[in-house]
């Protein structure tokens, strides 16, 4: 089991959601890439973090 916190920053707004782009750690490739979050939840948030918990 391992956990990873992935950081995202605002990229653009669509009709019902906000697209965030991943900010990878220096020297590593992106894990997720882009992430869409519904506007009703995201509000005006410019940065978000997602925790991925790998269950091996």
* Partners of 3 in beta bridges: 53
pTM of the model: 0.87
Q: Residue 49: its pLDDT value, please?
A: 97
Number of separate domains in the chain: 1
Q: What are phi and psi of 24, to 5 degrees?
A: -70, 155
Residues 46 and 42: their CA atoms lie apart, in Å, by 9
Determine the structural domain holding residue 22 and report its residue range: 2-54
pLDDT < 70 positions in the chain = 1
pLDDT tens-place string over residues 37-52: 999 999 999 999 999 9
DSSP the chain: -EEEEEEEEEEEE-SSEEEEEE-PPTTS--SS-EEEEEHHHHTT-SEEEEEEEE--
Q: What pLDDT shows up at residue 56?
A: 75
């Amino acid at each position: 089991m391992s956990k990873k916190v992935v950081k995202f920053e605002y990229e653009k707004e669509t009709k019902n959601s906000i697209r965030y782009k991943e900010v990878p750690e220096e020297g590593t490739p992106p894990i997720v890439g882009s992430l869409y979050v519904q506007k009703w939840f995201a509000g005006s948030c410019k940065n978000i973090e997602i925790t991925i918990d790998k269950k091996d």
